[in-house]
Amino acid sequence: MLDRTGLSVSSISSQSLRWRLSLGVILVNLFVLFLAASSLRQSWHQYQDRAETTAKNLSRVLEGEIGGDIEKIDITLLAAGDEVMRQFSSGKVGQKELNDFLLRQQSLLREIDSLCVADERGSVAYGNPATPGIANVAERKFFASQRDNANAGLVIDRPVQTRSDNRWSLPMSRRINHPDGSFAGVVYVNLSLDHLVKTFSKLDLGSKGVANLRDLDLNILARYPERLGAASAIGKPTISLPLKQLIDAGQTAGTYRVAAVLDNVERAYSYRKIGDYPLYVTVGLASEDYLADWRTSLVKEAAWGILFFVATLLTSLLIYRALMRQQNAYESLYNSEERFLDAFENAPIGMAIVALDGTFSKVNQALCQILGYERAELKKLRFQDITHPDDLDADLANIKRLLDGEIGAFQMEKRYIRSDDQIVWVQVTGSIVRDAKNTPLHFLAQVENITDRKKVEAQIEFLAYHDALTKLPNRLLARDHLEMAIAYTERAGTKTAVLFLDLDNFKTINDSFGHAIGDELLIAVAERLRECTHETDTISRQGGDEFLIVLSDVPDAEAITLFAEKILERLEETFIIGGNEIATSLSVGIAVYPDDSKDIDTLLKFADRAMYHAKGAGRNAFRFYTEQMNVDAVAHQHIRVGLRRALEHGELALHYQPQISLSSGAVIGAEALIRWNHPELGLLLPATFLPTAEESGLIVPMGDWVLQEACRQAVEWLEAGLPEFVMAVNISAMQFTRGDLEQSVLRALADSGLPPALLELELTESILIQDTEKVLETVQRLKSHGLMLSIDDFGTGYSSLSYLKRFNVDKLKIDRSFICDMINNPNDATIVRAIIQMARNLNLKTIAEGVEDEHLLSFLRLQYCDEGQGYYFSRPLPADEFARYVANNTQQLKLIP
């Protein structure tokens, strides 16, 4: 089986292993058994052959021994026969002489019991019988054989047992003839079987070996060893079949193996005919004896065999256990490797096995996706090839520390270059894999795509130092850049300029067009500012409509001036946002390092003050920081602190500016304009404290006071006999949102007794376009009381005809910015003409503010503008002066052409 790595995986089951080992044990043992059996069989044959040879040799020895004895006895018989026949032929037989002769001959042969002569009647006449003449052998077989056959030769008869001592002896005889050749009798001896047995006993036949002497009929004549009961076998033909077959086949000598008839003992026999005598000698060696050593060997071999079997069994058991352990270890290794490979392949993060040279040996699918390579492509690459050059040194340093054993693992954030050349940020966890000898094998890398996180981090970092809307640096970053610019300036010996910028009418724009358009405007302003600056300069949004520009390395104030003029000019150009044409301008305050201060906070503070100075100078202007601005700033500070006190202590006052009918020259109205009689700073104009009043919310009670005071003053003038005219009061947006304007107005009217028709509320366009329904409701209720309604600063805001109709507006107050320049600026003249024409069409009155000279007045009259207000007629005046002005009203009329 092949795993996914291509490595061979064994899957031998324990059952299969048991089978194989068992078969192996059986085969080995069978083989050993076969060898042992062959060896034993061979040695058995050798033992058999050796036994047969030994039996053969022993039978040959016995043949020699017994043949020799019989030959000696035969010679003695022949000698005794010759002596008897000599004495018969001499005619006289000496009894004593013949007996002595026979006894002498007998004494020469230890083997025989007696040597006797029997006559032709069988009567034993001579020799060694106990009582000669009494014994008769005529009935004996050997006598008859000799008598009946003159050529019988040596006749050996069957053994006989003596009656006296039961001893066996073997009769051997020769014929004695008369001189004429007739039968004269026999000479015979009894060969003692004891003697033969003694001869047999000299042989080493083993414990169960036998030696027999048999006649030609194979009757046993003598047997060794003598055994109880075995004697009865003597004289009987106890023969084995193999012997009979061999002899019947005519073989005079031979060997055979058989279990003896007598004792059933298996023996290796050798038989041999003794010379020409009618005798056979057999020697049998018992297999029990001659195979004793073989049997011992057999037992030993069997013991060794059993030992070997047990040993092989144990060995196989051990091998089995070892193999199973190995198998189990391998399986657990395989399983753990499988689990590792599964985890590796299916990991949600990229994983790689990296060779020591950096080549990707193995990668998972997630890594391929992260890097945008096919698996095969990636495996041809080294990690160095796709690592971002800026991250390679750090990466290699970590690898070196791994290889040196300084660390076991490392984690780093780095960049790879994808196949599509995109940068991908990853977090790499690298570790090293070593073998048992601690030699490094390869690296293991876990690669997590952190590009999104990096983007978010970059975004968070960006937002920490940038303005989310305009993407410009924020205060923090701007401060850093300012510090760097100053440091550079220090070295270069040049200057750094800090420009504090504020959009002049942003609030109005915001209120008029809504916050979305206001935001777009801020973005567009930022873009224009970018176009005006160099890369080394810094533009920052400080918040709201405030921007900060840091110009580094500027040579002198003239260069700063040129830059300031450039941005003012650029910002004056109309913006087209969301289909709307929007005009704005900048007020810029400038502080210079190191001229104004060497301290950053002080520089920023001075630039801020200078900006307010520019605002005070009529906006769309820039101002360098001066000592006077310092003074103004201190005053501003006092304003913040003293505004509430001013309200409570009656430091506020109203000045009134006349509104003139351009057709009759009569005073037809008065605009109430707030002033602050500051105890230290003197008379302050609204521009110095109204923004603070708006910020603090004091504008609401302040507005209430203005309404009360204006109405009271109007009624006072009426009662003093001044001609009737309308009192115009400026209403702040906050009075609509935070205060109860209707109640406030009605209270002022009620408290003063001023007819509602003589009170005119001046609202800005921005008030009317915010939260329209609520404002509409309030305005409609106010109008229902008979109040007059005019739109202040008309032309700078939304300028929508629809709300003019809906709010039932009475008058449009054309903004001063159009009036003051309309003689020189055809655009402004066109706008003024258009506003007047539109108002006329809507049946609204128009009033021009900022009428400063008679040219403007003439122009306005030509355009049929209804009313005018401006320095040409009068500056805003305290109440008593205003009353005098009205009294001298004819003075104004004569100025009108």
Q: Which residues bind ligand LFPHGCPZ (CB under 6 A)?
A: 657, 671-674, 685-687, 690, 703, 706, 730, 732, 792-793, 849-852, 869-871, 876
Smallest distance, ligand LFPHGCPZ to C-beta of residue 755, A: 21
Nearer to ligand LFPHGCPZ, 305 or 686 (CB): 686
111 versus 671: smaller Cβ distance to ligand LFPHGCPZ: 671
Q: How many other CB atoms sit within 10 Å of the CB of residue 333?
A: 13
Tokens of 450: 């952190």
8 A C-beta contact, residue 222 and residue 214:
no
How far apart are CB 815 and ligand LFPHGCPZ at their closest, in Å?
7
Give the separation between CA 137 and CA 149, rounded to whole angstroms: 16
Are the beta carbons of 482 and 498 closer than 8 angstroms? yes
> Could you tell me the smallest distance in angstroms from the CB atom of residue 714 to ligand LFPHGCPZ?
14
Give the helix ranges, DSSP H, for 514-556. 515-532
Smallest gap from Cβ 688 to ligand LFPHGCPZ, in A, equals 9
Which is nearer to ligand LFPHGCPZ, 109 or 673 (by Cβ)?
673
Q: Which residue is nearest to ligand LFPHGCPZ (CB)?
A: 870
Rg (CA), the chain: 78
CA distances (Å), 56 to each of 87, 177, 517, in order? 46, 41, 141
Joined tokens for residue 432: 């090293």
Q: How far is the CB of 773 from ligand LFPHGCPZ (least distance, A)?
A: 23
Best CA proximity match to 586, nearest among 603, 607, 569, 604: 569
Query: Could you tell me the smallest distance in angstroms from the CB atom of residue 749 to ligand LFPHGCPZ?
Result: 17
Q: How many C-beta atoms lie closer than 10 Å to residue 201's C-beta?
A: 13
Structure tokens at 596: 């104004």
Between residues 120 and 852, which has the closer beta carbon with respect to ligand LFPHGCPZ? 852
Cβ at position 569, least distance to ligand LFPHGCPZ in Å:
22
CB of 852 to ligand LFPHGCPZ, least distance (A): 4
Which value, to the nearest 10 degrees, does the dihedral of the CA atoms of residues 500, 501, 504, 505 take? -120
Gap between the Cα atoms of 596 and 583, Å rounded: 33
Least separation in angstroms between residue 654's CB and ligand LFPHGCPZ is 7
Nearer to ligand LFPHGCPZ (CB atom), residue 449 or residue 730: 730
> Cβ closer to ligand LFPHGCPZ: 287 or 732?
732
CB within 8 Å of 591: residues ≥ 6 apart: 497, 498, 500, 597, 603, 604, 606, 607, 610, 624, 625
| Closer by beta carbon to ligand LFPHGCPZ, 366 or else 672 | 672
Comparing CB distances to ligand LFPHGCPZ, the nearer of 69 and 762 is 762
> Least distance from C-beta 775 to ligand LFPHGCPZ, angstroms?
16
Amino acid at 422: Q
Of the pair 383, 885, the CB lying nearest ligand LFPHGCPZ is at 885
Q: Given the complex with ligand LFPHGCPZ, which of 518 and 876 has the nearer CB atom?
A: 876
Structure token digits, residue 131: 């009582």
The C-alpha angle 344, 347, 349, rounded to 5 degrees, equals 115
SS3 814: strand
Alpha helices in 533-658 (DSSP H): 557-572, 600-616, 627-648
Residue closer to ligand LFPHGCPZ (CB basis): 542 or 817: 817
Where does residue 233 rank: exposed (0-12), middle (13-18), buried (19+ CB within 10 A)?
Answer: middle
Q: Which residues contact 336 (CB under 8 A, 6 or more apart)?
A: none
Structure tokens of 812? Answer: 């449009």
DSSP string, 196-242: HHHHHHTS---TT-EEEEEETT--EEEEES--TTGGGGBTS----HH
Task: Give the contacts of 501 (CB within 8 A, at least 6 positions apart).
Answer: 529, 546, 547, 548, 549, 567, 586, 587, 588, 611
The distance of closest approach from Cβ of residue 730 to ligand LFPHGCPZ in the complex, given in angstroms and rounded to an integer, is 3
Q: Between residues 367 and 877, which has the closer beta carbon with respect to ligand LFPHGCPZ?
A: 877
What's the closest the beta carbon of residue 683 comes to ligand LFPHGCPZ, in angstroms?
11
DSSP-derived letter for residue 758 is G
Q: How far is the CB of 673 from ligand LFPHGCPZ (least distance, A)?
A: 4
Nearby residues of 527 by Cβ (< 8 Å), 6 or more positions away: none
801 three-class SS: helix
Least distance between ligand LFPHGCPZ and beta carbon 702 (Å) = 7
Taking the complex as a whole, how short is the minimal distance between the CB of residue 710 and ligand LFPHGCPZ, in angstroms? 8
Please provide residue 67's backbone torsions phi and psi, each rounded to the nearest 5 degrees: -60, -40
Instruction: Provide, rounded to whole angstroms, the least separation between the CB of residue 851 and ligand LFPHGCPZ.
Output: 6
Identity at 840, one-letter amino acid code: R
Cβ-based nearer residue to ligand LFPHGCPZ, 297 or 657: 657
- C-beta of 124 vs 851, nearer to ligand LFPHGCPZ: 851
Contact 398, 445 (CB under 8 A): no
Which of residues 516 and 617 has its CB atom nearest to ligand LFPHGCPZ in the complex?
Answer: 617
Instruction: Using the minimum distance from each CB to ligand LFPHGCPZ, give the nearer residue, 532 or 685.
Output: 685
